[in-house]
Amino acid sequence: MRKTLRHWSLATVLALVTAVPAPAAELLDGIVAVVNDDVVLLSDFQQELEQVRAELDRRDIAPPPAEELRRQVLERLVVEQLQLDEAERRGITVDEATLDTAVRRVAERNNLDLRGFRDALQREGMSMADFRDRLRRQITIQRLRQRVMDERVNLTPQEIDQFAERIAEDQEEFRLRHILVAIPEAASAGAIAEAREEAEALRRELTEQGTDFAALAAARSDGRNALEGGDLGWRRAGELPSVIAERLSGLDPGEVSEILRTPSGFHLFKMEDRRDAERHIVTQTRARHILIETNEVVSDRDARLRLESLRERIVGGESFEELARANSDDQSTASEGGAMGWLTPEEIPPAFQRRLAQLQPGELSRPFRSSAGWHLVEVLDRREEDATDTYRRNQAAQQLRQRKEEEETELWLRQLREEAYVDYRLEELEDAAV
């Protein structure tokens, strides 16, 4: 099943967006599929098809036969529409302010202002309105999936503790590709046997005929990454279901796994590469600060001028600690003379981190603003710390949730698809065009 929307950045847009071919113009309002009470339009299908072709070309993956590719793309759009329908039923919306912020972030990540971003889209045949609509759909589906997974995935403290121990022992990462032959929920013995036969045939194509794994995944996989050639990127063993991780641990780069069974169906994996997980070394900064908060009485100008005055007194020899105790609005550090202890980048806001990074030990900052208010900061010391164990423990819950959510997402989307009414009409349109 083709379920994943790409994360739209300008780089993706520039690589993928292609205008709808002119010969199909007279059919732009055609309906290629009826999905419950909604439809998938031919214009959307054609645009998605061209984008997928461009993405496969960018990844240097041989495209599937035209009929297979059309089927894959249409199924992706059907599942997308089902998710949008479910989001509407649950009252999930994306307001204009959120969408404006998301568009700005995409533009900023690509070093463009909004005007330059709009121009770049237009050069590739996409209007800003179309881009905003695609981005709105992506954010809507992300919010829907998060809500569904919050309902379906629960982690206990015991699970997290046990998983953290496994992560500590797991020093290896795998670069994987994946093919899934899905089986319906509550499938009959015959349907399961048929799916296994298909998986065995696919494995023979890979191992005996030398078929390219990425091309076969794009043509035949039911996985969410099918149209990316089944690329799963780098994964720790702990992020994969244990039955899969155990079977993959013995594969060498270039090898294809045996057929593996999970509730989602039958899986094939290719080990593209493997590496030892890097240790997590962080730069910690020991600092102290004075915070002046702004409010209806204290303006930004008032706070900045007050800190400028305090800075002059510190430079003149007065005690930072005493001035922090008397003036700082940060109640958690004021009593300690402003001492913040050893800070790692993850613990502090970006604006604060940027200012810290500019200061040498013993250096006192100029007043600056963050989301908390106005600060005067002195860096006392720096050190490199091996935070691998702490990092692994902090990541344990996130990785365990990700693994469970991937399994549950496959099952949920399959259930959503099986319960839907879908009427494909692409062949009818193609026949009418002949």
Question: What contacts 24+ positions apart, CB below 8 Å, involve 100-107?
Answer: 102/135, 102/139, 103/128, 103/131, 103/132, 103/135, 106/8, 106/9, 106/10, 106/135, 107/10
Contact 246, 255 (CB under 8 A): no
Our count of domains for the chain comes to 3
- 418 belongs to a structural domain: no
Same domain membership, residue 24 and residue 102: yes
Joined together, the tokens standing for residue 236 give 């720790």
The whole model's pTM is what?
Answer: 0.53
> Is residue 16's pLDDT more than 50?
no
For residues 232 and 304, membership in a common domain is answered with no
Task: Look at residue 298 in the predicted model and tell me its pLDDT.
Answer: 92
- Is 406 part of a structural domain of the chain? no
Interval 348-366 mean pLDDT: 90
Residues 62 and 101 in one domain: yes
Alpha helices in 328-418 (DSSP H): 331-334, 350-358, 388-418
Q: Would residue 268 count as lying in a domain?
A: yes
- The predicted structure's pLDDT at residue 218: 93
* Separation of alpha carbons 180 and 171, rounded Å: 27
Same domain for 213 and 271? yes
Q: What is the pLDDT of residues 301-339, one digit of tens each?
A: 999 999 999 999 999 999 999 999 999 999 999 999 999
| Domain membership of residue 106 as a residue range | 10-154
Whether residue 399 lies inside any domain: the answer is no
Quote the CA–CA distance of 108 and 58 in Å, as a whole number: 23
pLDDT tens digits along 241-287: 777 888 887 889 999 999 999 888 999 999 999 887 666 778 899 99
Hey, which of 22-36, 75-89, 272-286, 349-363 has the most confident mean pLDDT? 75-89
Q: Answer with the one of 341, 366, 385 that is the final residue of a domain.
A: 385
Judge if 183 and 146 occupy the same domain: no
Q: What is the CATH number of the domain that holds 188?
A: 3.10.50.40
Pairing of strands 172-182, 265-276: antiparallel
pLDDT tens-place string over residues 159-181 = 888 877 776 656 678 899 999 99
Confidence at 23, pLDDT banded by 50, 70, 90: very low
For residue 395, being part of any structural domain is answered with: no
What is the secondary structure of 239-252 as a DSSP string?
GS-HHHHHHHTTPP
What pLDDT, in 10s, does the model give residues 109-165? 888 888 999 999 888 778 899 899 989 999 999 999 999 999 999 888 888 888 777
- DSSP code of 222? -
Same domain assignment for residues 224 and 325: no
Last residue of some domain: 227, 246, 276?
276
Q: Is the pLDDT of residue 17 over 50?
A: no
Residue 286 host element (H or E)? strand 281-292
Residue 402 lies in a domain: no
Question: Do 20 and 122 belong to one domain?
Answer: yes
Q: DSSP letter string over 140-179?
A: HHHHHHHHHHHHH----HHHHHHHHHHHHH--EEEEEEEE
